[in-house]
Structure 1
Amino acid sequence: MTPSESNNSNTFEADGYGLEILLPNIVVLAIPENKRSAIAPVHLVVQITNNTSEPFPVSFDDTFIPELVNSDGQTLQGLFVINEQESTNQQQPQQQSWIFKLKRLLLKLANFNRQEDTKSINSWLVQPGRDTGVWLDGRLFWQNNLLILELPNKNFSFDFEYFRPRTYYSFHALQPGHYQLRFIYFNKTNSNYNNESSAIGVTNLSQIKSSHPATPFVNFHLIQPMEPNGNAVEVNGIRFETIMPERVLTLPRKKDNTIFSIQIGLRITNNTQDPLRFSLWSTLTPELVGADGQIQQRGGGSDAVKAPKESDFPLAMPGECIEFFLEAKLLWQKLDQFKLLIVRKDGGYWWFDQLKLATYQIRFSYQEFWETRQWIEYGRESIEQMRSSKVWSGRVDTPFVEFQLNKL
């Protein structure tokens, strides 16, 4: 294997395929509150590009070993964990033990009865000149007063092996500051290793780094939310804050087609010396967590595609702030459950369903890759023209704000 850096500094190429963590140059993760229910999802995507002339096999069993480096240049030791989600539940150790053993038994039975066609479900071919994304969804949380970053080593987002244990690498006792992250890639088809090995990469990281391809390092910052309310973070003089004026939502009695509108949005304050333009078109992604710390599954779709307009890229002068509220609604569902629907500026929408009368935490992740954006402008003769301007690019995961759903 002869790996080499491609022309794109963010992409690593080896054996004719490129690896890249899809993140902007500036990445900020807000540190969650130090309490049991405060769990912040960390969504990462590794893009694999096939630059060869032959199809390239990719599998859900492919393994990604995270390598995390702190601001002192020290590589942090990751702890390999199986079914970490059980350890955060309020269960007795004996109960955890028998649940784990039962899942291991079900796993063995599932693997024993697996048919050949399952392999075709769990793997796919990336055609020449095409790419594919691998979702590695981690989380940031506190445990025993230690800040922990937990990153999966496989793609569990579309898991067809329902009894497969979740496996993670857990980095403990993190501090606010600057970090670098990359993933070392083990392709199940092309790598010579035992895929069922439990702790691959924990003790021999230095050895596997020289023999397997990896993504380039990406930079990110862990930032403590700002006082007094802890709802905002600031990076390079720019402050981001999730805003929700009403935190206790009293819903009317259930009726057919009842819709309850809520106010939720993002405030951006420009504390720099330069005017800055921000993108509100397809850049905000909501994240919802229950009172028990359970990350709520998010769905999405689109009925139409709307072209960006100049109003989607507001300009903030030095010292000014811009506020943007999304169209958000709560809808009744059956069995006293609700759906939260949030409409995007590009014509799409997000939703969280099966919500109950309870306490939740919500935030937005702002992510803009492009430093220049184009939009439609209506001229004097109502002729649509395209204009472009520089916009602030980066990713900021804002702190959560808490709200309650009550009923009359």
Structure 2
Amino acid sequence: MRHSRAKVLAVILIFFGIIVLSHTSNSVMAHEKVEAKRVVNMTSCESNNPNAIEVDGICFETLIPEAIIHLPKYGEETPVQFGIRINNQTLTPYRFDLPYFLPEILDTHGKVMQRLLNKNATIEVEESDISLIMPGESLEFLMDAKFNWYGENCLRLLGNAIYGGIWIFWYIQPGKYQVRFTYENQLPKKKMITLKEGRTEIYGFWTGEVITTCKSLSLR
């Protein structure tokens, strides 16, 4: 009789053990599926490129081809390039008004330097200024700038912007700086004076604003 009760108890324990193991296995599998789905849904900005930032399916990355620049001696000047990479991960083609991407520089103490923006003329818009970026495509935009002297005691960094304008950072010293870009546009269509068609209306601009991540620039 005791042996019969022991067998019945053993069968009951085995039965409940199978149920518990089955439930635990299903819970683990469900957790693994959630994690896998989360990784699959991450954009390349998050999963593959920590230097890029994503806004509404568009990835922006600061580009500095030469991270170490030797500053010019007095009376000379040194060219430099930096810019952005834009990756369109949406299903919609978008234009960007590239000359409106403006550099922002953080000094050796991490403070944002004052930027002078001036415009004395207007030049026509070229197709390369407002290139259409198709879904899944990326575009790299590098701007030419230079370090030059404004008097014996003032080294400055300046470049072109906004169709006939210039931006300037004053009193540059040797040290480690951070560079990023700002961009803002609220108009999906714009009236522009293009080099090819004259005054016309251009459609398809991305609307939004972004501040890209910083990249280091060492000045020596």
TM-score for the superposition, normalised by structure 2: 0.72
For residues 63 and 185 of structure 2, the distance between their equivalents in structure 1, rounded to whole angstroms, comes to 20
Q: Return the structure number with greater helix share.
A: 2
Among 121, 132, 138, which residue is 1:315 paired with? 132
Among 249, 254, 278, which residue is 2:96 paired with? 278
Displacement of 1:293 after TM fit?
A: 1.7
Verify: 1:374 aligned to 2:188, yes or no: no
For residues 101 and 195 of structure 2, the distance between their equivalents in structure 1, rounded to whole angstroms, comes to 25
For residues 302 and 345 of structure 1, the distance between their equivalents in structure 2, rounded to whole angstroms, comes to 8
What does residue 260 of structure 1 align with?
Answer: 78
What does residue 238 of structure 1 align with?
Answer: 58
What does residue 17 of structure 1 align with?
Answer: none
Of stretches 330-339 and 268-277 in structure 1, the one that deviates more from structure 2 is 330-339
Taking the TM superposition and a 5 Å limit, the aligned residue runs for 1:192-231 are 226=46, 230-231=50-51
What does residue 363 of structure 1 align with?
Answer: 180
Verify: 1:340 aligned to 2:157, yes or no: yes
For residues 333 and 347 of structure 1, the distance between their equivalents in structure 2, rounded to whole angstroms, comes to 21
What does residue 207 of structure 2 align with?
Answer: 393
Displacement of 1:273 after TM fit?
A: 2.0
From the superposition, tell whether residues 337 and 227 of structure 1 become closer, same or farther in structure 2 (CA, over 3 Å). Answer: farther
- Secondary structure of the structure 2 residue equivalent to 1:293: coil
Displacement of 1:338 after TM fit?
A: 2.0
For structure 1, the 5+ residue unaligned runs are 1-224
From the superposition, tell whether residues 337 and 373 of structure 1 become closer, same or farther in structure 2 (CA, over 3 Å). Answer: same
Which AA in structure 2 matches 1:274? T
- Secondary structure of the structure 1 residue equivalent to 2:70: strand
Verify the 8 A CA contact 2:193 2:200 in the aligned structure 1: yes
Verify the 8 A CA contact 2:123 2:163 in the aligned structure 1: yes
Displacement of 1:278 after TM fit?
A: 1.6
Verify the 8 A CA contact 1:287 1:362 in the aligned structure 2: yes
From the superposition, tell whether residues 226 and 355 of structure 1 become closer, same or farther in structure 2 (CA, over 3 Å). Answer: farther
For residues 378 and 242 of structure 1, the distance between their equivalents in structure 2, rounded to whole angstroms, comes to 28
From the superposition, tell whether residues 300 and 345 of structure 1 become closer, same or farther in structure 2 (CA, over 3 Å). Answer: closer
For residues 320 and 389 of structure 1, the distance between their equivalents in structure 2, rounded to whole angstroms, comes to 19
For structure 2, the 5+ residue unaligned runs are 1-44
Q: Can you list the C-alpha shifts for 1:55-102, whole angstroms capped at 9, x where unaligned?
A: xxxxxxxxxxxxxxxxxxxxxxxxxxxxxxxxxxxxxxxxxxxxxxxx
Q: Return the structure number with greater strand share.
A: 1
Verify the 8 A CA contact 1:309 1:376 in the aligned structure 2: no
Verify the 8 A CA contact 2:58 2:89 in the aligned structure 1: yes
For residues 227 and 334 of structure 1, the distance between their equivalents in structure 2, rounded to whole angstroms, comes to 47
> Which has the bigger relative contact order, CA under 8 A and spacing at least 6?
2
What does residue 351 of structure 1 align with?
Answer: 168
Verify the 8 A CA contact 1:290 1:296 in the aligned structure 2: yes
What does residue 118 of structure 2 align with?
Answer: 301
Verify the 8 A CA contact 1:309 1:375 in the aligned structure 2: no
Which AA in structure 2 matches 1:364? F
Displacement of 1:326 after TM fit?
A: 1.7
From the superposition, tell whether residues 377 and 295 of structure 1 become closer, same or farther in structure 2 (CA, over 3 Å). Answer: closer
- Secondary structure of the structure 2 residue equivalent to 1:355: coil
Number of residues of Structure 1 aligned to a counterpart in Structure 2: 176
User: Where does structure 1 differ by over 4 angstroms across 4 or more consecutive aligned residues?
Assistant: 225-229, 333-337
For residues 377 and 262 of structure 1, the distance between their equivalents in structure 2, rounded to whole angstroms, comes to 28
- Secondary structure of the structure 1 residue equivalent to 2:178: strand
- Secondary structure of the structure 1 residue equivalent to 2:125: coil
Q: Can you list the C-alpha shifts for 1:208-263, whole angstroms capped at 9, x where unaligned?
A: xxxxxxxxxxxxxxxxx8466642101221101111110011234x142x221101
Displacement of 1:358 after TM fit?
A: 0.6
Which AA in structure 2 matches 1:242? T
TM-score for the superposition, normalised by structure 1: 0.40
Which AA in structure 2 matches 1:277? R
Displacement of 1:378 after TM fit?
A: 5.4
What does residue 405 of structure 1 align with?
Answer: 219
Displacement of 1:342 after TM fit?
A: 1.9
For residues 400 and 236 of structure 1, the distance between their equivalents in structure 2, rounded to whole angstroms, comes to 20
Q: Can you list the C-alpha shifts for 1:302-322, whole angstroms capped at 9, x where unaligned?
A: 221224343321111111111
Among 251, 255, 261, which residue is 2:71 paired with? 251
- Secondary structure of the structure 1 residue equivalent to 2:98: coil
**Larger-Rg structure:** 2
For residues 251 and 229 of structure 1, the distance between their equivalents in structure 2, rounded to whole angstroms, comes to 30
From the superposition, tell whether residues 392 and 333 of structure 1 become closer, same or farther in structure 2 (CA, over 3 Å). Answer: same
